[in-house]
Amino acid sequence: MLFDISISLHSALPHFPQDPPVRMNPVASDAGTFHVSELSCSSHAGTHLDMPGHVGLWGESAASVSLELLVGPCQVLDLSHVSGLIGPEHLKPFDLFDCRRLLFKTSNSYLWKKTEFCADYRALSLDGAHYLGRRGIDLVGIDYFSIEAWDGNGEVHHRLLRDGCIILEGLDLSAVSAGRYELICLPLKLSCTDGAPCRALLRL
């Protein structure tokens, strides 16, 4: 069974306030028989990867990132009960032995029903980022636009990416239960090093 945990890109999709919105405009071809659309969006639109270049670190581009990192066993944690920042105290109860890829299911998944950006979303604390680094997590995902709180200063992103942990943001995990899956996450093959939109699936 496959679960599509990606967000559909469309012109009405909310976006992080500093980022450009998604724009899709139909364009008629000269011949008049073919229909195409002009697409304009941020490299962090919808479901996307954050790469080291997002915070000014040296690293691979979305075109060269290892696909073995983006495809493989994954664990979804149900953190929907957490009302503040996600810290080590929320992660320690879980058995993360031999876990390389980790997705956080929070109350954020239901924010996708809102038509406007919501700044009051669940996010990871800096202590939580340190904890994931010590656990050797290679990829962490969350079900809203950012792994870091709205009023964060970038330290959470920097800590994760400096520890070699790629960030997967903009997921919809509302229809997915906690447990172990296979993650299939393929970004657009872009040469930029800050990130890229992607299609993300879970296979049960």
Which residue spans within 29-131 are E strands per DSSP? 35-40, 48-50, 71-78, 101-105
Q: SS3 for 54?
A: helix
**Catalytic residue numbers?**
54
State how far the Cα of 158 lies from the Cα of 188, in Å rounded to an integer: 23
Tell me which H or E stretch contains 64.
none
The dihedrals phi and psi of 112, each to the nearest 5 degrees, come to: -65, -15
Q: Distance (Å, rounded) from C-alpha 85 to C-alpha 79?
A: 10
- Residues present in the chain in total: 204
